[in-house]
Copies of this chain bind each other. A is one copy, B any other.
């Protein structure tokens, strides 16, 4: 993943607050800190061996990507996953990633499109080997979406999707998983999207991406209901 100057969350971690952010993102996304639990600043500061200053800066950025919720003078809690939250999040995602596809069809150059195709082939191969391994698919799928978003060449869109929304999306997907039959279908949908972009058919790419995301949402929503939330 290349660094982008517009995206402070994706630069190599130069400062200690950067490292903290990465670690806490992982911790929350993977559910090591329980959803909804309170975050104690002194406790975490001890745990990570840093002062509260960089910790608070990291927390401000965690709030920015919707992983925690803060109330002034009261404290911060890890966000809770819910059906309504998922719906609201994916409404935005559909819209913005659809736009990203339309712009990518206009703005990606041939080389970038070719690289995207290469990425997909690579995932297909590794998927044949590791059948049903959900984590690799997870990473691969996100990488696919990332590249298209970057291909839109719109800094604000990139910032919103990659820096602010994607960690929460990952949290839903990591904690509620993506199961068997959906995985292989997702590959086909990805392929169709690439084709539309390569044909410079932004309208179609937009439509296909929206459906792709809607299908993904349906899959996660099902799991949420099974768990009785």
Chain A interface (Cβ < 8 Å from any Cβ of B): 5, 8, 11, 14-15, 18, 53, 56-57, 60-61, 63-64, 66, 70-73, 88-89, 91-92, 95-96, 99, 103, 154-157, 160, 164-165
Contacts and interface: CB of A to CB of B under 8 A. Distances in A.
Contacts of A99: 91-92, 95
A89 to B, nearest CB: 6
A157 B89 CA distance: 9
Given A8-B70, A11-B72, A91 B154 contact: yes
A140 B60 CA distance: 31
A88 B154 contact: yes
Contacts of A91: 99, 103, 154, 156-157
Nearest to A61: B60
Given A57-B60, A60-B57, A95-B96, A157 B88 contact: yes
A110 B48 CA distance: 52
A112 B91 CA distance: 22
A63 B96 CA distance: 21
8 closest Cβ pairs, A-B complex: A88-B154, A95-B99, A14-B72, A60-B60, A92-B156, A88-B156, A15-B72, A64-B64
A8 to B, nearest CB: 7
Nearest to A94: B99
A156 B172 CA distance: 15
Contacts of A70: 8
B15 A154 contact: no
A92 B160 contact: yes
B15 A73 contact: yes
Contacts of A66: 156
A53 B54 CA distance: 11
**Which interface residue of A57, A64, A70, A103 has the most chain B CB atoms within 10 A?**
A64
Contacts of A72: 8, 11, 14-15, 18
